Amino acid sequence: MPEGHTVHRMARDHSKYLAQQIVNLSSPQGRFAQEAKRLNGKQLISASAHGKHLFYRWVNPQVVRPREIVMHVHLGLYGKFRIHKNPPPEPRGAVRVRMIGDAHTIDLNGPTRCEIMDSSQLQSLKNRLGVDPLDPQADPQKAYLRLCRSKKPIATALLDQSIIAGIGNIYRAEILHLLDLDPETPSCDLSRPQFDTLWQLTVDLFQIGVKHDRIITVDLNSINKPIRRLNKDERLTIYKKQNCPRCNSTVRKWALGARTMYACPKCQR
């Protein structure tokens, strides 16, 4: 499942290719046909992200005071976007939504959710989501207070999208390793200085992820070749590693929060 930085990068790219344009919308697969008919010929105002969720805002340009229509997309495990230059090729696979702009076409396959939301549904979803590290207006205090009330292991809590929105399995392992935190530390035992450091590190890593369109947690100053040429093993510090890069201990691997956790038993005691 894409983590938060990827979804924010998608929102940025989709706005770049389609925002402020009249978009031809269709559902080649047919499962979004009625909604696509409603959105076809509308103007895309913006594409934005919160955590792992995408929101597309549309208006009817022929109306003086148009009411926004919001399309919500959650990719889940199998959702995928493809971007084509116009004219686009024939739809590939079960394309749920095809958005054709002036110069580019964006196809969406296999999302967990793709729907039109009214204002109350949109607000209800946002109320369920935690703070987003890539939101300049985010209030990390909200996340800290929720952690204080939880006895869940910190590694489990970091996957809880109602606390911090956007962290997935790779980022949680990398963040906890970089901070030398035991993944099984109860969330309520995290001190405020520890949380502040965790929050700032998450913000920094997400921003790097958006910029380079990939998860990079190693020190950028230690890289001696172009970032785009780094393979996944070179970009990460602990995830799916055999040995800890700092102490060479064998990396521990176990199920935690229904996902596989990776941690150094020596550095993260």
Write out the catalytic residue numbers: 2-3, 52, 259
Residue pair 262/253 in contact by the 8 Å Cβ criterion: yes
Measured in degrees and rounded to the nearest 5, phi and psi for residue 5 equal: -65, -35
C-beta neighbour count of 101 within 10 angstroms: 18
Measured in degrees and rounded to the nearest 5, phi and psi for residue 20 equal: 70, 20
Closest residue by Cα to residue 15 from 46, 61, 55: 46
Residue pair 122/72 in contact by the 8 Å Cβ criterion: yes
